[in-house]
């Protein structure tokens, strides 16, 4: 059997900041609710999970990064720090959707089989995506979107339980009316890097990883829009 990958995962795309590491099939992770401190908190968190596992960055096989959607500033922080960590050691990287990370958390922690994830995108819009569990892995149904809450279109089986995750449901509770079977997954509000690890492993086996030069953030919304709105992230 091949040696299990040592994967470092980072996310700063929403209000939370998280880092996680899988080494010898053990998981080490940290998460903090620090919406304006991502750039100061992330690297110390990386150092901490590496120290917990007693490994060096040079021992890492793959870096997984939160590619968005989410805060424009947060995505930039995550991708730039991933570049900084990966460049010196020429490590491969893999982008993981923040929505998929939340869906994976619901599948892992709540046994969800269908998940609708929604992040408050401000400006009366939400980022949203819907997922089903395939062999325990969050698998996207359709595409990820940014739209008004009224434009969210359910593709999941509305006769079965659908777990609802994310701040979009807090900001726009009318989303619960999309189907009678939608139930709030209160344990999953934000993405957490530790749930990116399994998705990164799965993506690596599908050869979805890239060089750091090909790192690809996903904003969904036009970045110019963000720059024109003072105080928006």
* pLDDT of amino acid 222: 64
Percent of the chain with pLDDT over 70: 94
pLDDT tens, residue by residue, 22-44? 999 999 999 999 888 999 999 99
* DSSP secondary structure string for all residues of the chain: -PPPP-EEEEE-SSSEEEEEEEETTEEEEEEEE-TT-HHHHHHHHHHHHHHHHT--GGG-SEEEEEEESS-HHHHHHHHHHHHHHHHHHT--EEEEEHHHHHHHHHHHHH--SEEEEEEE-STT-EEEEEEEEETTEEEEEEEEEEE-GGG----S-TTS-EEEESHHHHH-GGGGGG-TTEEE-TT-SS--GGGHHHHHHHHHHTT--B-GGG------S-HHHHHTSTT--
pLDDT-based confidence at residue 3 (cuts at 50, 70, 90): confident
Fold designation for 7-98+191-227: Nucleotidyltransferase; domain 5 (3.30.420)
Query: Quick check: do 7-98+191-227 and 99-184 share a fold?
Result: yes
pLDDT digits (tens, 9 = 90+) for 141-150: 999 999 999 9
So where are the chain's domains? 7-98+191-227, 99-184
pLDDT tens digits, one per residue of 103-120: 999 999 999 999 999 999
CATH H-level, domain 99-184: superfamily:
ATPase, nucleotide binding domain (3.30.420.40)
State percent of the chain over pLDDT 90: 90
């Amino acid at each position: 059997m091949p040696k299990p990958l040592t994967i470092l995962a980072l996310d700063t795309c929403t209000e939370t900041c998280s880092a996680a590491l899988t080494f010898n099939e053990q998981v080490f992770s940290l998460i903090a609710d620090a919406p304006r401190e991502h750039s100061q908190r992330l690297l110390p968190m990386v150092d901490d999970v590496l120290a917990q596992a007693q490994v060096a960055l040079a021992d890492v096989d793959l870096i997984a990064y939160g590619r968005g959607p989410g805060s424009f500033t947060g995505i930039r922080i995550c991708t730039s720090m991933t570049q900084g960590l990966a460049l010196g050691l020429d490590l491969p990287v893999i982008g993981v959707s923040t929505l998929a990370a939340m869906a994976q958390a619901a599948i892992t922690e709540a046994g969800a089989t269908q998940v609708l994830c929604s992040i408050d995108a401000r400006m009366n819009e939400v980022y949203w995506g819907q997922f089903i569990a395939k062999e325990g892995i969050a698998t996207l149904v359709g595409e990820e979107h940014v739209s008004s809450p009224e434009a969210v279109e359910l593709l999941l089986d509305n006769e079965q339980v659908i777990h609802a995750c994310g701040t979009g449901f807090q900001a726009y509770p009318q989303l619960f009316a999309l189907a009678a079977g939608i139930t709030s997954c209160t344990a999953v509000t934000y993405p957490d890097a530790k749930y990116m690890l399994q998705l990164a492993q799965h993506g690596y086996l599908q050869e979805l990883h890239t060089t750091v030069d090909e790192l690809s953030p996903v904003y969904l919304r036009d970045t110019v829009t963000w720059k024109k709105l003072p105080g928006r992230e």
